[in-house]
Chain A
Amino acid sequence: GAVVSQHPSRVICKSGTSVKIECRSLDFQATTMFWYRQFPKKSLMLMATSNEGSKATYEQGVEKDKFLINHASLTLSTLTVTSAHPEDSSFYICSARGVGRKLFFGSGTQLSVL
């Protein structure tokens, strides 16, 4: 199946710093990627839809100035958590749409903000 690579897998940062998470589709081109957030023992919550060459579409309640998304190429989308605070600590997961309508997910990034 299609492979989506997400880095880093884990990051610990100080409050007020920014963190960038990368999501790459390794063997296919993805015009659309998705970013999710997941709290412990909870389901995935869609944060935003990342479209190659255009602005991301954010879900209601997600601060676009805090969660910056860039989809500069057909294989790379980045999520930058700006001025991170402890409440931003979470598991962030990206996904990309492969052939047909299947969504393939990255391995996730555990963000811990001290």
Chain B
Amino acid sequence: GESVGLHLPTLSVQEGDNSIINCAYSNSASDYFIWYKQESGKGPQFIIDIRSNMDKRQGQRVTVLLNKTVKHLSLQIAATQPGDSAVYFCAVTTGANSKLTFGKGITLSVRP
């Protein structure tokens, strides 16, 4: 089966610095990957996704990198802001109709 893990449970960064959140997955057949942000008491909010035929995708202040060789996914947040403080989850899926498997979540704290 699929297992998804996040390397560290918490990450503290200085406001304005770049943040990097990492995720490892186990199923080499996984072909779609999503990063979500969850604020306290709210549902997960879509940040960015990437398909397995890509190794990098950029959004507004965020970049997702995919290394299929080592089954590793990362989320980079540029110029981290206090509003970025939240729990971040990676999620992976295999096949168009399959369910998402979520990682454990990492708490990002931004120091002023």
Contact = CB atoms under 8 A, between A and B. Distances in A.
Interface of A: 1, 4, 6, 32, 34, 41-44, 46, 49, 91, 93, 95, 101-108, 110
A43 B89 contact: yes
Interface of B: 32, 34, 36, 41-46, 49, 89, 91, 93, 96-97, 99-100, 102-105
- Chain A at the B interface: mostly helix, strand, loop or mixed? strand
Contacts of B91: 103
A102 B34 contact: yes
Contacts, number: 49
Given A43-B89, A44-B89, A6 B104 contact: no
Contact of B46 (A6, A34, A104): A104
A1 B105 CA distance: 23
A95 B44 CA distance: 9
B54 to A, nearest CB: 14
A33 B68 CA distance: 29
Contacts of A106: 43
Nearest to A91: B41
A16 B3 CA distance: 35
B32 A101 contact: yes
A54 to B, nearest CB: 14
A2 B104 CA distance: 25
22 contacts: A4-B43, A32-B97, A41-B105, A43-B102, A43-B103, A43-B105, A44-B44, A44-B89, A44-B102, A91-B41, A102-B34, A102-B46, A103-B34, A103-B46, A103-B91, A105-B36, A105-B43, A105-B46, A106-B43, A107-B43, A108-B43, A110-B41
A4 B43 CA distance: 10
